[in-house]
């Protein structure tokens, strides 16, 4: 099972990019390993929109980089806004990512990934 490593800080500002490193001690990653559905989902916070997610091959079958692009917080209803007008962003979350390897397109292989705990930042001053 793939496992994330390091302190994962993910930018929540719309359009901002972040990187995650996923390790697999079984060495199942290839150039054809992709994020299933091209998305990462926060399973802790329903108010966070899914992240766009793609992989970057680093020529090591035990490690792959997942590039995230934030779609920002979801739009809130009038009732949610009235109940919590301050609407602070969540400080943390847990991302769910499923990787698939399509070396053999007719029989793609799912590579399970442990849930990835992350710390959210909202860096609106950096370059996207």
* Domain boundaries, given as residue ranges, for the chain: 3-121
Question: Is 121's pLDDT higher than 90?
Answer: no
DSSP assignment string, 67-110: EEE---BPPPPHHHHHH-SS-PPPSEEEEE--EEE-SSTTS-EE
Report the predicted TM-score, pTM, of the whole model to 2 decimal places.
Answer: 0.82
Give pLDDT, residue 51: 93
Q: CA-based angle 91:68:46, to the nearest 5?
A: 45
Residues with Cβ within 8 Å of 29's Cβ and at least 6 positions away in sequence, in order, are 2, 57, 60, 61, 62, 63, 64, 99, 101, 111
pLDDT in tens, 73-108: 766 566 666 666 666 678 889 999 999 999 988 999
Q: Which fold has domain 3-121?
A: Immunoglobulin-like (2.60.40)
- Mean pLDDT across the stretch 109-123? 88
pLDDT in tens, 11-66: 888 888 999 999 998 999 999 999 999 999 999 988 788 999 999 999 999 999 99
């Amino acid at each position: 099972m793939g496992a994330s490593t390091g302190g994962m800080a993910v930018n929540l500002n719309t359009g901002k990019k972040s990187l995650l490193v996923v390790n697999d001690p079984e060495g199942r990653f290839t150039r054809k390993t992709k994020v299933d559905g091209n998305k990462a989902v926060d399973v802790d916070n329903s108010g966070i929109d899914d992240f766009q997610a793609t992989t970057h091959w680093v020529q090591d079958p035990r490690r792959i980089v997942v590039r995230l692009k934030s779609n920002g917080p979801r739009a809130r209803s009038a009732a949610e806004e009235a109940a919590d007008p301050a609407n602070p962003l969540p400080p943390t979350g847990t991302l769910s990512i499923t990787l698939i390897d399509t070396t053999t397109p007719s029989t793609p292989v799912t590579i399970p990934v442990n849930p990835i705990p992350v710390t959210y930042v909202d860096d609106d001053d950096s370059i996207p």
